[in-house]
Chains A and B, each alone.
Chain A
């Protein structure tokens, strides 16, 4: 393992530990248990302690966008398997399983929408699709979201939740970092803003690419936002990590994000930003 110490990458390592043997609707912080409709009603925030549960992409879009305003784009894109990657299982198999499990074609859903009648483009990640990992399709969809926003001259709102680059696509996954970065540069040159919302977790390649390049960067409370995962850092430095290591609260203190916005206020906050950045 000695050599593994110098591994800084990312990728799934810092995936949130699943609440061990706990029901997914049981709050990992305070143990409160909710029926699914209760959680959906509370935007998947624990009404007892404020813990933010993960939100799947389409539910997030429902939470944020005006009813019926979302028009999905590029939903038909699917990953290829350029390396013929096989670890303990074939990448193709993992992809098929992820699609069946989530009903999604990849870890990112994009499309045009309106928030409080203000038009925008949305790019929302889904952690349940292979840990929200970024592969060729994820990068391509993000780039297309930038292009749609630029063409419509509206801001792009991204909501990230990802462990980082998708190892099964090897170097091509790493190349999605510069790909999404140049897409943001083009978006900016077209005069449009990127509002980046980081949900738990936004780590590795996501933090090292578009998610950090928002004109405004917002995080959800308690979101892990670190380049290297806590376990890798602990192994490398052999130091005890601060309790708030890599969390949104620490990132705010160190000046890396503009605000922490609790989920119930996210929609109105985004609307305010859309008004500020809007053309009118």
Chain B
């Protein structure tokens, strides 16, 4: 297929190359970042590499939202509850200082042991979680805090109560709330970006993906069960729908890839956090240059243009 993303990147690279005197160090950082992304695009992942990313994205030692929070945010204060009926532990929200400024953070949270996993419902939120997220989005907007979201969920919880409490509508309204914000928003897929439950908090100005994260319309197992009628064909399914960061960047779905330590984020959570923090900081700084009254229109235009037509 035509590599539009590659052409756009080359275009940006050549433009930035001629501008490096204007903004100094930060710009050369940008150049490096784009160059790395270009290198990644040119090295298209094989089917095996895609599957290894699926495994890394789900690795049980992979850092979760709160692992990054404790490494990146100072004065963290967690905000609980949807102000309606519950506090969903599968989705954490709070305020903290990132590089000296207050940001609102929303992220899915998985658990490490059985007890924690049960409490966090394996990172699968109920509508109450998305309502809590919407409340915190409104809070950020009210006070002008940039919004950072970290996506790591197999999907929104498919349960009886979740449906009765309006799972579909909550996911739709959470996206709509993000589409209305006047503050800068940055999302990063840090593990599994599973379907509606993921995109519910990822309608952001800048959407990033960690190198070994996945972002997909359905799980490989689910896709295999439906299209191949055999969940065991998950590798084939993953190879077919290409949930890896490189393909997402190529398809224009994300704006950048955040590098991880060699071997994956679980090998060094500290280094993974440093790289993630730098990428989010850079993204927020870029967004500072966009006039506030243009942010929303720009964000909407980006999502309006998603998709490929014949």
Contacts and interface: CB of A to CB of B under 8 A. Distances in A.
Nearest to B171: A208
Contact of A204 (B176, B196, B200): B196
B122 interface: yes
Interface stretch (B14-22, B39-47, B140-148, B153-161): B153-161
Contact of A82 (B197, B219, B251, B300): B251
B243 interface: yes
A4 B225 contact: yes
A129 interface: no
B309 A205 contact: no
Contact of A236 (B159, B167, B196, B307): B159
Given A181-B179, A185-B180, A239-B160, A256 B166 contact: yes
Nearest to B127: A227
A181 B243 contact: no
A227 B167 contact: yes
Residue of A11, A136, A178 most packed against chain B (CB within 10 A): A178
Nearest to B1: A82
Contact of A225 (B159, B168, B248): B168
Task: Tell me whether chain B's interface is mostly helix, strand or loop, or mixed.
Answer: helix
B195 interface: yes
Interface residues of A, number: 74
Contact of B241 (A83, A210, A211): A83
Contacts of A169: 217, 307-308
A109 interface: no
15 contacts: A7-B155, A7-B218, A83-B241, A171-B253, A172-B308, A174-B199, A185-B179, A186-B304, A203-B168, A207-B169, A209-B172, A227-B158, A227-B162, A227-B196, A228-B167
Interface of A: 1, 3-4, 6-13, 77-80, 82-88, 135-137, 139-140, 143, 165, 167, 169-179, 181-186, 203-205, 207-213, 225-228, 232-233, 236-237, 239, 241-242, 245-246, 250, 254-256
Given A3-B234, A8-B156, A170-B241, 18 more contacts: A4-B222, A6-B219, A82-B1, A87-B227, A87-B237, A137-B307, A137-B309, A165-B218, A170-B251, A171-B217, A171-B243, A175-B307, A177-B199, A182-B179, A182-B304, A208-B172, A212-B172, A227-B156
